[in-house]
Amino acid sequence: MSERITGHTELIGLMAYPIRHSSSPAMQNEAFAKLGYDYAYLAFEVGADEIEDAVKAIRTLKMRGSNVSMPNKTLVGQYLDELSPAAEMCGAVNTIVNDHGHLTGHITDGIGFMAALKDNNIDAIGKKMTIVGAGGAATAIEIQAALDGVGEIVIFNRKDEFWDRAVSTVEKINTRTSSHAVLYDLADLDQLKKEMADSYIFVNATGVGMKPLEGQSVVPDKSYFRPELIVVDVPYSPLETAMRSMAKEVGCKTMNGLGMMLFQGSAAFELWTGEPMPIEHMKEILN
């Protein structure tokens, strides 16, 4: 690393709190080194009270940009000059690009999800997706899927604090994209079974399956799956979940959350450098 840093090296940040656990610095710096790009990516502990000043620092230090994670994803947009259509619709930003002082906010989680599908030869365009979730990851996927042309998006969620967000997501998809969305209560298991029965793809975009909800599943049992259904988990720790184990037993093609993680980083990398990440190299490193 020290051999790589020069007086010309440009800085890219990751602004969140807590953030020391993140694998993004290792991933992004490996990709910059592999392609010989003169950037350095560093994590900064920045909380909600500090994000406005941190954005000023991006301008002052002429940083190329930054990633943003919790608690700043929904806060940082107000300090930027422009938002991508997906970031504006999601009300969240995870990537900032600094073009000579003009800061644009993007959300690459949904882009990463759609790219991970493509990488697994899964083509949901024009087809029906049933998805559970209304939080940050789910909203980004639902909006990007609609913008990319997934035909029908059936959203299930608990009637918890995320419900109103799902109502708003459905309204935005139906008024601002060519896709059609509906929302149901996850407690309505008959409806869940009915919607899954003719879906091309089923996505769990909640924290269920991941610690501390490890071993749990949003789908109650195997009878909800059929072999033709593609079953995707957004959680990635642990990589194997109860839901995908059931789906695999039925013979479904499945995908875990690692691809989305890799490709959301690749999309950010591409926004800063103009080139995609060296994906095959990154997969080797991650495995």
- 194 in catalytic set: no
Question: Which residues touch 36 (CB under 8 Å, ≥6 apart)?
Answer: none
Instruction: Determine if 110 is a binding residue for ligand NAD (CB under 6 A).
Output: no
Catalytic residue among 62, 73, 127, 253: 73
For 18, how many CA atoms within 13 A lie in the half-sphere containing its CB? 4
For 173, how many CA atoms within 13 A lie in the half-sphere containing its CB? 28
Distances (CA, A) of 208 to 94, 205, 263: 22, 8, 22
CA distance 193 to 95: 36
Size of the site for ligand NAD (CB under 6 A): 25
- CA nearest 155: which of 135, 125, 185, 122? 185
CB of 117 to ligand NAD, least distance (A): 12
Q: Which of 235, 255, 268, 282 binds ligand NAD (CB under 6 A)?
A: 235
3-state helix, strand and coil shares in percent for the chain, rounded to the nearest 5: 40, 20, 40
Closest CB to ligand NAD among residues 103, 141: 141
CA distance 190 to 11: 51
User: Which residue's beta carbon is nearest to the bound ligand NAD?
Assistant: 135
Q: Which of 37, 41, 79, 162 binds ligand NAD (CB under 6 A)?
A: 162
CB of 255 to ligand NAD, least distance (A): 10
Instruction: Determine if 135 is a binding residue for ligand NAD (CB under 6 A).
Output: yes
Of 179-218, which residues contact ligand NAD (CB under 6 A)? 186, 206-208, 210, 213, 218
Binding site for ligand NAD (CB under 6 A): 109, 133-138, 157-158, 160, 162, 186, 206-208, 210, 213, 218, 234-236, 257, 260-261, 264
